[in-house]
Chains A and B, each alone.
Chain A
Amino acid sequence: MSSHDEHHGASLRTYLVIFGSLLALTGLTVWVAFHDFGSFNTPLALVIAGVKGTLVVLYFMHVRYNSRLVWVFAAAGFLWLMILFGFTFSDYLTRDAAEATVQDVPAWPTR
């Protein structure tokens, strides 16, 4: 396993650009919050937050300038979050359907 001593981080300019974009995206979040997009309200907020988070991870946390191995581990964290959300929603999103099935069962015969 060779250690790679390439540039560990970005220039001050890059940091300032990223900082600026994070501020701009925060402004966007505020703007979006004051307008009604119907069912897109939450997805929009989540997408903006996701972009901001990705920028922080890639630049401020230096993942972009690290080895593939670090990428894999960083990605694994998000993949596992998706497992948690995905399978939890496999319960919540099918609760009603399940209830319908239970009601379909004929009533217990009574004497």
Chain B
Amino acid sequence: MSAQATSAAEPQRNYLNADYGIKSWLLTTDHKRIGLMYLLTMTLFFFLGGAFAVAIRLELATPHGDLVESETYNKLFTMHGVIMIFFFLIPSIPAVLGNFLLPLMLGARDLAFPRLNLLTWYLFTIGGVFTLYAVVSGGVDTGWTFYTPYSSTYANTHVIATALGVFITGFSSILTGLNFIVTTHKMRAPGLTWFRLPLFVWAHYATSLIQILGTPVLATAILLVGIERLFGVGIFDPKLGGDPVLFQHLFWFYSHPAVYIMILPSMGVISELISTFARKRVFGYSFIAMSSLAIAILGFFVWGHHMFVSGQSVYAGVVFSLLSMLVAVPSAVKVFNWTATLYKGSIQFSTPMIYALGFLGLFTIGGLTGLFLATLAVDVHVHDTYFVVAHFHYIMVGGALMAYLGGLHFWWPKITGRMYPEFLGKISAVIIFLGFNLTFFPQFLLGYLGMPRRYHVYPDEFQVLNVLSSAGASILGLGYLIPMAYLVWSLKYGKRAPSNPWRASGLEWTTPSPPATFNFDRTPVVTTEAYHYSEELGAPRTGTDVREVEIV
């Protein structure tokens, strides 16, 4: 992402060639440059988290603990989880695509608080450094959930350093959410009413609400673990009058909604991709918009479904089980509306669309297996087994990561001014889809058969499914390396991108690729709804049908 890579004489002055040098990046307040800095940092974390996954899958290829010891294995899955969740999935779409696109989609020159935006990147990076310190100095073995009393009393690994890293990066998340909410309220272009907003913006608005309302509770929980560990104040330790289950309440109050911090922005991306490549306005626009808010709010009432077998009272379990069923409704509303959007659409199987269609299938599987887990009695059987692991990877990798990659390809021309190679794009999207299913579908079977998660020694009869899973993981890994390679390659050798290569209707496509530093020469005036596609029923794709924008 360095300035040199993109410096090959761009035709017009834009945000990338406006200034060079390390300071022009590290001190920038341009939301687009900050988005790119996030992209670089998070890609590093993604491959680090991926490296831990490689080690885990290698170890699980045989039923014996022949590669690493139990303690090391505990550290491997902990670091994989901590890095992937807190340093990749939670910030991924909001911090990269949201940062880059929100002002463009709103017709604004930047976010409401550009300096605060830069601060979030520094907080994220500082938090990451603490976590990296924990990695190199011996790791942490509590699991990404930091459950007490193990984390507060017994673990003798680097719990404090890791927890501090997560604590600090949480503030980055809160401040990003704050910035997005204020920007959406205050900086919409003239004529851009709430119900003309792209669904990407609605999704990010809902996500931001969760970030602001939920993250402080995670910070509280982590702080309390630190206080108990360092000063022996009795909060979670029963010997000191505390209750270990209290930690689970506080932790999941944030961490269940955190799943929606990961999936809501990806739903926003999917709405954009599907309407663009089906060349239709999104079916049930207001239902999709409102279901984002419904998910954000309802998502706070279900956290107890992680605690059905943790000693939580049976009555609380029943209530949380029912409410968890309820939160599936708005997600289903979205899936049905996307499917209806495809109906009689003029569908084009470009790379981003392949990712979007992959998302539809995988997210549906992930969501429906979530209902199994929300069912009290079934959960007693599959709790803490590979069934759970498969379920949340279908949501987080099959859902959030597929949408992130789809969105990255879709907006790559806008971000970099270069096209990626379409053929390689399609190939790798299909490889990722196949590799993903081969990795994680066997884990549903393993879990149902009773293989617990977080063990590296297992009975021999589970080996076939584990080998399948490890084989799938190698395909999946290859699938991630190909886009990594050709996206970097495209920075210098990719075809120059026109301002609107997909003939999409969003406001961001009315700017040149890449956009100028302040996005719009003049404030655009919006006169139509989002997804203003004139050719509904497969008419020939000629001419432009960009949303009308009057220049004042």
* Interface set of A (CB-CB < 8 Å, partner B): 1, 69, 76-77, 80, 83-84, 87-88, 90-92, 94-95, 97-98, 101-102
Contact = CB atoms under 8 A, between A and B. Distances in A.
Contacts of B239: none
A94 B316 contact: yes
Contact of A90 (B185, B217, B253, B315): B315
Nearest to A76: B213
Given A76-B213, A80-B300, A83-B300, A91 B313 contact: yes
B312 interface: yes
14 contacts: A1-B186, A80-B214, A83-B300, A84-B249, A87-B303, A88-B246, A90-B316, A91-B249, A94-B313, A94-B314, A97-B313, A97-B315, A98-B314, A98-B315
Given A90-B319, A91-B312, A102-B314, 19 more contacts: A77-B213, A80-B213, A80-B300, A83-B301, A84-B217, A84-B253, A87-B301, A87-B316, A87-B319, A87-B320, A88-B246, A88-B249, A90-B315, A91-B304, A91-B313, A94-B313, A94-B314, A98-B313, A101-B314
Interface string B39-63: 0000000000000000000000000
A88 B247 CA distance: 11
A42 B21 CA distance: 60
A66 to B, nearest CB: 13
Q: How large is the interface on B (under 10, 10 to 19, 20 to 34, 35 or more residues)?
A: 20 to 34
A69 B194 CA distance: 15
- Scoring A83, A87, A91, A98 by chain B CB atoms within 10 A of each residue's CB, the highest score goes to A91
A69 B301 contact: no
Interface in B168-227: 185-186, 188, 213-214, 217
Contacts of A91: 245, 249, 304, 307, 312-313, 316
The main secondary structure of chain A at its interface with chain B is: helix
Interface of B: 185-186, 188, 213-214, 217, 245-246, 249-250, 253, 300-301, 303-304, 307, 312-316, 319-320
A72 to B, nearest CB: 11
Contacts, number: 48
Contacts of B320: 87
B301 to A, nearest CB: 7
Contacts of A94: 313-316
A94 B249 CA distance: 15
A91 B211 CA distance: 25
A98 B315 CA distance: 7
A39 B455 CA distance: 49
Contacts of B315: 90, 94, 97-98
A87 B304 CA distance: 9
Contacts of B300: 80, 83
A95 B304 CA distance: 14
Contacts of A76: 213
A77 B320 CA distance: 22
B374 to A, nearest CB: 15
Contacts of A69: 185
A63 to B, nearest CB: 16
For the complex of A and B, 8 pairs with smallest distance between CB atoms: A91-B316, A98-B313, A98-B314, A94-B313, A94-B315, A95-B313, A80-B213, A88-B249
Contacts of A87: 301, 303-304, 316, 319-320
Contacts of A90: 313, 315-316, 319
A26 to B, nearest CB: 25
Contacts of B301: 83, 87
A97 B316 CA distance: 11
Contacts of B214: 80
A88 B312 CA distance: 10
Contacts of A83: 300-301
Contacts of A98: 313-315
A94 B303 CA distance: 17
Nearest to A90: B316
A34 B217 CA distance: 33
Contacts of B253: 84, 88
A90 B245 CA distance: 13
